[in-house]
Amino acid sequence: MSVISAADRIWRPYTQHGAMAEPLPVESGEGAYLRLADGRRLFDAVSSWWVNLHGHGHPRIAAAIAEQARRLEHVIFAGFTHEPAERLAERLVAVAPRGLEHVFFSDDGSTAVEAAVKMALGAWRHRGRERTVVVALEHAYHGDTFGAMSVSARGPFTSAFERLLFSVERLPFPAPGREAATVEALERLLARRGDEVAALIVEPLVLGAGGMLMYEPGVLARLRELCRERGVFFIADEVMTGFGRTGTMFACEQAGVSPDIMCVSKGITGGFLPLGATLASSEVFEAFRSDDRGKAFFHGHSYTANPIACAAAVASLDVFAEEPVFERIERLGAAHERRLAALAERAGVADVRRRGTIAAVELRADDAGYLSSRGPKLRDFYLSRGVLLRPLGNVVYVLPPYCSTEKDLDLAYDAIEDSLDLR
């Protein structure tokens, strides 16, 4: 019988085990840094997959978790409630775009998107008008469960399941100089099939896993306007962009947009615990309210509204309220700009872009894309320099915790500059 190695015992996410290096044991985290078992420190320049907002081990969030764990660790959320969930729902509604009055809790970003899509489709059904067409942007990524994969772009993440995904209408990505084509595509689609379209789902301003692609707020505002004119539900997937990443609490704010449904996760607990939430307007919520039990929203998870996770999320919002978080965000944006300006002039760089604390350096590559051969080599090089960066193929992005300093960012950008000639 073959012996399974320690590296293969755990099946890891987004990992080709036939080509992976030995995973690095992490012993602790503090602020913007991780400490490995061998004593090395790594600058967590990607916020541990975009979840960590205020730094590892923030004492306020850690204390809130410990206190809640002593009181109530979990309870079924169907037919019961608890203070952390109620407090969090009120706090989310208070900071969210206007009109989002109801909060449905789930486990992560993908499940928040699943809930959003089911809400939109179910609301039309309960209204007695069967609208079943969902519209999404080219290059989108919304998660790895089947509904979320369906509204995501087809590519390496979805190819094995292509025949099992429901079809979606695609709008061209509103790249700089081509914004009008996106708006016109939606106009034509609504003119042709407006009575069939249930919802448009977008990642506001920044498409994350699609390559940190960025577009202007004016496009978002126009797409929202067209949806409102035709009664189409507008879903904002703020799983990655929410909680300050783009410079405002939510990216939609920069376009003056209030969606009908909004998905949040990742940074919601400050990076401590998994939690997702789908916020909805009263129009969506009321489509399910009935004395007919068959019209309930049949969706849920065993750990829905976990009290410890909710307490962490409330504590993270307290940090926003009581610490100068947006001053830190502004400083990070300025530091990004300073280093990106120099990188833009380098021969090996195809493009640089930034929105808030999210910066991306797109490197020239013969095999551009998520599976570019440059990605793994770059990742290993950055680790050797004490920086955790996980390129999206030939796109190197920096998305740090808000406690990061200019010196921390310089460590990351120095490594990026030195990697430009790596082949």
Q: What is the pLDDT of residue 7?
A: 75
Tell me whether residue 407 is one of the annotated catalytic residues: no
Does the pTM surpass 0.85? The reply is: yes
Q: Look at the alpha carbons of 50, 54, 55, 61 in this order and tell me if their dihedral is positive or negative.
A: negative
Give per-residue pLDDT as tens, 335-389. Answer: 999 999 999 999 999 999 999 999 999 999 888 899 888 899 999 999 999 999 9
Q: Mark whether 91 and 121 lie in a shared domain.
A: yes
Distance between CA atoms of residues 139 and 208, nearest Å = 9
Of the candidates 321, 339, 368, which is a domain's last residue?
Answer: 321
Q: How many domains does the chain have?
A: 2
Pairing relationship of beta strands 358-363 and 395-398 according to DSSP bridges: antiparallel
Catalytic residue among 107, 108, 144, 237: 237
Residues 169 and 78 in one domain: yes
Last residue of a domain, one of 271, 297, 321: 321
Q: Are 121 and 95 within one domain?
A: yes
33, 215, 260, 266: the active-site residue:
266
pLDDT tens track for 160-194: 999 999 999 999 999 999 999 999 999 999 999 99
Question: 381 and 402: one domain?
Answer: yes
Give a yes or no: residue 1 inside a domain. no
Residue 32 resides in a domain: yes
Q: Is the pLDDT of residue 2 over 80?
A: no
CA angle (328 as vertex; 323, 334 as ends), nearest 5? 165
Q: Which of 82, 125, 91, 120 is nearest to 281 (CA)?
A: 120
Residue 394 belongs to domain spanning: 6-54+324-419
Q: Which of 14, 367, 380, 418 is catalytic?
A: 14
Q: Which two structure tokens, joined as six digits, stand for 290?
A: 């009935």
Is position 215 annotated as part of the catalytic site? Answer: no
CATH of the domain at 265: 3.40.640.10
Instruction: Pick the closest to residue 356 from 259, 224, 212, 237 (CA basis).
Output: 212
Tokens, residue 224: 């929202």
DSSP string, 182-225: HHHHHHHHHHHHTTTEEEEEE-SSEETTTTSEE--HHHHHHHHH
Residue 89 in tokens: 């729902």
Which among 33, 141, 215, 303 is annotated as catalytic? 141
370 is catalytic: no
- Given 321, 354, 373, the domain boundary residue is 321
Q: Is the pLDDT of residue 233 over 60?
A: yes
Q: Mean pLDDT for the chain?
A: 96
Q: How confident is the model at residue 1 (pLDDT cuts 50, 70, 90)?
A: low
Helix (H) or strand (E) holding 79: none
Which SS3 state, helix, strand or coil, does residue 82 take?
A: coil
Give the rounded percent of residues in the chain with a pLDDT score beyond 70: 100
Residues 6+ apart with CB under 8 A from 9: none
Q: What is the pLDDT of residues 21-41, one digit of tens each?
A: 889 999 999 999 999 999 999
Sheet holding 349-355, edge to edge: 349-355, 358-363, 395-398
Domain of 328, CATH number, reads 3.90.1150.10
Place of tokens 């307007």: 281
What is the dihedral sign for C-alpha 149, 100, 53, 245? positive
CA dist 367 and 364 (Å) reads 9
Compute how many other C-beta atoms are within 10 angstroms of the C-beta atom of residue 218. 14
